[in-house]
């Protein structure tokens, strides 16, 4: 089973022009950088994976997003 971590980035890197964005960070799978994640004010979580096909996942929560990343990741 892959070890997936959603790492938090410094809050100052959040784009102030996107008021819906709450948090953002990088995705680490088995110690490798594999993309970025974002949490939005409406409860939506998104992940953009470095898979070569511009995969973007959307989920209604952190745990669901992690599960979706595990299903789709080729890192």
What does the domain layout of the chain look like in residue ranges? 4-72
Q: In b/e form, how buried is each residue of 31-45, taking b as 16+ CB within 10 angstroms? A: eeebbbbbbbeeeeb
Residue 43 has pLDDT above 80, yes or no: yes
**At 13, is the pLDDT very low, low, confident or very high (cuts 50, 70, 90)?**
low
**8, 25 Cβ separation under 8 angstroms:** yes
Which residues, including other chains, have CB under 8 Å from residue 42's CB and lie 6 or more apart? 20
To which H or E segment does residue 66 belong? helix 62-72
What local confidence, expressed as pLDDT, does residue 74 receive? 62
Contact in structure between 32 and 75 (CB atoms under 8 Å): yes
Confidence of residue 20 (pLDDT cuts 50, 70, 90): confident
CATH 3.30.720 matches 4-72 = yes
């Amino acid at each position: 089973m892959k070890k997936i971590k959603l790492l938090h980035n410094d809050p100052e890197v959040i784009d102030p022009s996107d008021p819906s964005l709450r948090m953002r960070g990088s995705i680490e799978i088995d110690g490798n950088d594999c993309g970025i994640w974002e949490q939005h004010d409406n409860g939506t979580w998104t992940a953009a994976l470095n898979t070569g096909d511009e995969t973007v996942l959307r989920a209604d929560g952190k745990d669901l997003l992690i599960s979706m990343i595990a299903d789709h990741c080729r890192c």
